[in-house]
Every structure is written in structure tokens, then in C-alpha cells.
Chain A
Amino acid sequence: MRDAGSLLVLDQVVKTFGGVAAVGGLTAHVRQGSVHGLIGPNGAGKTTVINLITGLFHPSAGSIRFNGAKLEAMAPQDIAATGISRTYQNVRLFSGMTALEQVMTGCYLRRGVSLWSSFLGLPAASSAWRSTREQALHLLDRVAMAHRADELAETLSYGEQRRIEIARALGSDPKLLLLDEPTAGMNHSEAEAVGRLVHELRDAGLTILMVEHNMSLVTAFCDSCTVMNFGRLLAEGDPKTCIADPAVQEAYFGRKNDADRIQALR
């Protein structure tokens, strides 16, 4: 029923750390071709969910299905090969690599040649390398970073590094892109640009699951959303309706008058 049309299905997923449940029986569906928001207050378990989907953690119980594959027992590199790619809440670019090299590394899965023929430098491998390089440059261009291609990524600003990380994640030509707070530390216009990119990608057929704290960006970017609190499902569906939900308001802002106080402080 709901599973039809869903690219990603989390079914009663549990993850405990030393007896404490970071995710406690979460069920969620991400529709093919949508931008799906994953929201919730700090410590709700959003990053843990992304780590579970990408195989960095394995669920203590429950199942994760993606495009017909059962992910819960698979290794991260095999999950990546099914077409899932991600960014990190705290940017995790490779030290010592230029922006272009980062994105090239992201293209590893679609390099199109064996490690062996690449080592031998066979003509086919060289031309595949050049065309991958072109693709990587194109991806950098999409995030407006092509002019910094040959600079060490660690010397660039935080916002620029975030954009390079998105380009790197797109390198594998994924079906599902997981973005963990992609706009954190960005100013308004940078965040808007990320939103536009996300919509372009969706219109090109990509499915996106993104963690986002800024509620106005959630309503602007997302087609649907899942709200978590204490590792559990709090609300799901249309972003505006979810955010208006009193339970969600309370989880985010405490009691209503606290929320008013927070609003007043801004």
C-alpha cells in the first residue's frame, strides 16, 4: 500500500547505544522523486537514522528497504553501490585533497574501469579518467565551486566546503541523496541556492532526504516530512501541517509560551 511508490522504507527500526535507544522503533517512507524532510529537536536521532541507512551503524532491530534491497545487514560500500549517497553534519572532506580530487573520489563507483586497468594506464582507462574528471568539474560547477577546483578544500570557507561535499555526494550519480543539515552555517542566499539545487536535482529524478533545522526552509524545500523526537515518530506528512502540529511545536519549543519567548528574543 504505502510501500508502493516508496523508494526507501524504514520499518520499526531500533538502534540502541549501551541500552539507550537513539532510535526506538521508527517507521518512515520516502516517496520516489520527492524531497523529504527529516526534522526533530537536537538529539532526536536524525543523524543516527542517516548512519543506519548508509550502513555506518547497523540497526539493533527492524528493517530498511531501498529499491528492493534489504540494507540492514549490508556493508557501507555495498549500500553506496545500490545508489545511496550522503553528506555529513560536520563536514567530512578528505584532508590534503583539492576540491576536484574530493569530487573525483566521489565518482569512484562510476569510474567505469577496473583498478588494474587504471594502474596500467590503458588507453580506455585514461579516457575514462578524463571523462570522469569532466563530470567532476561539471558537478563543481553546479555548486558554483568550479573556480576553486585546484585548491585544497580545507583552505576554503565552511559554506564552500559544504557545497563541495554535496558535489562529492553527487559524484556517484545516486538515486537517493541524504543531506544532514546542508545549510548549517550558511547565510540566507547560500541556503536559498542549496534549496534551488535540491529542487533541480529532484526534477531530474533524484530522491532527497534532508535534515533541516530551519522551519521556513523546511516548508520551502520539502514535499513531505517525518518529525522525530526521542528516536520516535512524532508526526509525518505535509511539512506545513506537521510544523503546525501542537506536539511538534512543543517538542521544538517547549510549552507554547516558551515558544513565544523564543520568537520574541529573535
Chain B
Amino acid sequence: METFLDLWAAYGSTVTFAMVNALFALSTYAVLSTGVLSFTTVVFAAVGGFLAAQLSGKFGLPLWAAFPAAALGGGFAAAVVAFAFLRLESHWMALASLALVLITRVTALNAPALTGGVNGLIVPVRVEPLELAILLALCTVVFWRLHRSWFGLASRAVREDAAVASTMGISPYRIQFIAFLISGVVGGLGGAALAFTLQFISPETYFIGIAFTMIASTVLGGSFHWLGPIIGAAVFTALPTTMQAIVPQIEDVAKGVVLLLIMIFLPRGLIDPRAWGLKKAAKLREETEAKRAAERDAHA
């Protein structure tokens, strides 16, 4: 028990942030798994975060009510974004989503009544690590179910080849719209989770930092299975802390180096079901060849 408490004192906040980052990474994964690269998770997080902070601060809403409100807010923002963005070509959509992140920050800075402006907002409610774990577990169950459903199959098809998918009766627009809604809900939850963890938020909270973390986590963990972003967020959050214990002030360097290494050596991330399938096929081929060789020897 003693050692557990010691460990928690040292790494508790890392675990907490890893869980928050996992929500952001899952939100990015939701759209990426249908072939859409979008930074708008940051926007959904801001909507969810400020909404949750205001509802609990001004109206005394408890956690269990503030989280669903944040999810709804994020989902609503996502519906608007999807409606506007899904008509764009994919690379323009990525750029437009980045532009929206910049616009959101400026807007938030200039709306002090809603966001506290430059002074930010104090959040009077705190989320316990256990509550966060439950929230993440719930989200994970949703992604697990999605992966094994017709939606999961259709989104893989749309991601790999949207034109071919459409000739099989799958509407890429519909699949990607639903993906945006999921991204918005999970992003909104992540934003609220961050607000209730930091207990102080400002427009700077929901900015490039989150964008970098969520993209890096998804790339690191892999975007071909829901487990990828969760593992990615855990590694990406823990790595700088553990490295820091060895070599101080290495955080940003370590993050950058890890990201580069992953992109060079594991471009599809740590969790890659396709790589396992390829390995299996290679093994099978080796076995049949060995068998054939043995048969030839037997004949000779």
C-alpha cells in the first residue's frame, strides 16, 4: 500500500493526463478512421470545456450532469463543422480545421463573458482519477462496439477507397458525418475532463498543445484500431515524465524525437492489425514451402 501511494504521488498526475489525452486521441481517431484528418477535436474540447466549467461554476451543476452537457455541446459543434467541412477535399479540410482552431482561440479570447477571456476561468469542481477511468472505459466500450459493427466495416472501406465504397452502396458522406458526431462527443468530454482536472482553463488551454498531443498519440499508437490511440496517449504522456527522471529538461526534445522515430520506423503505429495479418501470411507461405520441399525430398 505504502509503495502504491508513493508511486501514485510520483506518477498519479501522469496517469490522469494520459486518460484525458486518450479521450482527445480517440476523438481524432474517430474521424481519422474514416479517412478524415481534422484538428477540430481542439474546438470540440473548447466547447465542452467552457460549457462544463460555466455550468458547474455559475449554476452549480454536478459532474455527472456537466459531462453529458459537454458531450452534447461537442456533438452539436461537430454537426455544424461536419456540415461545413465535408464538402471540401481532404487536404483542404485538414487546413480548414487548423484555421478553425486558430479562430476558436481568438473568439474565445474576445468573449470574456463566456470564457473568462485572457483571465481564464476557475473551475470549482474536480474529477477524481477513478471517475475519469470510468468515463474512458465507457468511451472505449463505444469504440469497441463500433469497430465490430457495420459502421466499423463501412468506415474502413471509406477510409481505404471512398469511391469503391460508394459503388457498394456505402455513402462516404453519411459515414464521415457520423464519425464527426462521435469525434465531437468524445472531444467535448475530453475538454470537460481537462477542465475538471486542471481546475483552471483559459483560451490558451485549448490550443496547439492539444492538437500536437492528440495527433502524436494517434500516430504513435496507430489509427487502425481503437486500442491504438489509447496506448499512444499513455506512452506519449508517460514518456517525457519518465525520461525527465533520468535526464531533466528533455521533455520537448523527447516528444519530438519519439514522433520522428515512430513515423520513420512504424508509420502505421504500434497497434497495427494489418501488420499481424502480413506476418501470418508470410509464416504460412514459409510453412507451405517447407512442406513442399520435404515432399520433393521424399520423392527423390
The stretch from B65-73, B149-157, B190-198, B239-247 touching chain A is B149-157
Judge whether A95 and B169 touch: CB under 8 Å.
no
- Interface extent on B, as a size class? 20 to 34
Q: Scoring B residues 144 to 174 as 1 if CB is less than 8 Å from chain A, else 0, what string do you get? A: 0110111101101100110111111111100
The docked-state distance in angstroms from the alpha carbon of A129 to that of B157 is 17
Q: Scoring A residues 23 to 35 as 1 if CB is less than 8 Å from chain B, else 0, what string do you get? A: 0000000000000
Interface status of A261 (Cβ within 8 A of chain B): no
Interface status of B278 (Cβ within 8 A of chain A): yes
Interface status of A190 (Cβ within 8 A of chain B): no
Q: State the Cβ distance, B274 to closest chain A Cβ, in Å.
A: 4
Give A98-114 interface residues, CB cut-off 8 Å to B. 98, 101, 104-106, 108-109, 111, 113
The docked-state distance in angstroms from the alpha carbon of A60 to that of B164 is 22
Judge whether B164 and A94 touch: CB under 8 Å.
yes
Q: Scoring A residues 106 to 132 as 1 if CB is less than 8 Å from chain B, else 0, what string do you get? A: 101101010100111100010001000
Give A48-62 interface residues, CB cut-off 8 Å to B. 54-56
Task: Kindly list chain B residues whose C-beta atoms are within 8 Å of the C-beta of A94.
Answer: 156-157, 160-161, 164
Task: Kindly list chain A residues whose C-beta atoms are within 8 Å of the C-beta of B151.
Answer: 115, 118-119
Asked if A119 meets B146 with Cβ closer than 8 Å, knowing A109-B168, A151-B277, the reply is yes
Task: Kindly list chain A residues whose C-beta atoms are within 8 Å of the C-beta of B274.
Answer: 95-96, 152
Task: Kindly list chain B residues whose C-beta atoms are within 8 Å of the C-beta of A125.
Answer: 149
Task: Kindly list chain A residues whose C-beta atoms are within 8 Å of the C-beta of B170.
Answer: 77, 105, 108
Q: Scoring B residues 174 to 206 as 1 if CB is less than 8 Å from chain A, else 0, what string do you get? A: 000010000000000000000000000000000
Give B71-106 interface residues, CB cut-off 8 Å to A. none
The stretch from A38-46, A79-87, A203-211, A223-231 touching chain B is A79-87
Interface status of B281 (Cβ within 8 A of chain A): yes
Judge whether B161 and A108 touch: CB under 8 Å.
no
Judge whether B277 and A76 touch: CB under 8 Å.
no
Q: Which of B163, B167, B170 has the most CB of A within 10 A?
A: B167
The docked-state distance in angstroms from the alpha carbon of A106 to that of B157 is 10
The docked-state distance in angstroms from the alpha carbon of A111 to that of B157 is 15
- Interface extent on A, as a size class? 35 or more
The docked-state distance in angstroms from the alpha carbon of A250 to that of B160 is 41
The docked-state distance in angstroms from the alpha carbon of A98 to that of B157 is 12
Q: Which of A80, A88, A101, A152 contacts B169 (CB 8 A)?
A: A80
Interface status of A232 (Cβ within 8 A of chain B): no
Interface of B is mostly: helix
Judge whether B160 and A56 touch: CB under 8 Å.
no
The docked-state distance in angstroms from the alpha carbon of A101 to that of B278 is 15
Judge whether B277 and A108 touch: CB under 8 Å.
no
Q: Which of A56, A76, A86, A151 contacts B281 (CB 8 A)?
A: A151
Q: Which of A92, A109, A115 contacts B161 (CB 8 A)?
A: A92
Judge whether A80 and B167 touch: CB under 8 Å.
yes
Task: Kindly list chain B residues whose C-beta atoms are within 8 Å of the C-beta of A15.
Answer: none
Q: State the Cβ distance, A1 to closest chain B Cβ, in Å.
A: 31
Task: Kindly list chain B residues whose C-beta atoms are within 8 Å of the C-beta of A104.
Answer: 153
The docked-state distance in angstroms from the alpha carbon of A79 to that of B168 is 9
Asked if A152 meets B145 with Cβ closer than 8 Å, knowing A76-B167, A92-B161, the reply is no
Judge whether A106 and B168 touch: CB under 8 Å.
yes
Closest to B285 in A: A155
Interface status of B280 (Cβ within 8 A of chain A): yes
Judge whether A120 and B145 touch: CB under 8 Å.
yes
Judge whether A119 and B277 touch: CB under 8 Å.
no
Interface status of B44 (Cβ within 8 A of chain A): no
Judge whether B164 and A92 touch: CB under 8 Å.
yes
Task: Kindly list chain A residues whose C-beta atoms are within 8 Å of the C-beta of B278.
Answer: 152, 155
Judge whether A108 and B150 touch: CB under 8 Å.
yes
Q: State the Cβ distance, B52 to closest chain A Cβ, in Å.
A: 26
Interface status of B60 (Cβ within 8 A of chain A): no
Interface status of B273 (Cβ within 8 A of chain A): yes
Task: Kindly list chain B residues whose C-beta atoms are within 8 Å of the C-beta of A155.
Answer: 277-278, 281-282
Closest to B166 in A: A76
Judge whether B160 and A96 touch: CB under 8 Å.
yes
Q: Scoring B residues 276 to 295 as 1 if CB is less than 8 Å from chain A, else 0, what string do you get? A: 01101110100000000000
Residues of B within 8 A of A (CB): 145-146, 148-151, 153-154, 156-157, 160-161, 163-172, 178, 224, 273-274, 277-278, 280-282, 284
The 10 closest A-B pairs by CB, nearest first: A155-B281, A76-B166, A109-B169, A80-B169, A152-B277, A96-B274, A94-B160, A118-B149, A118-B150, A77-B171
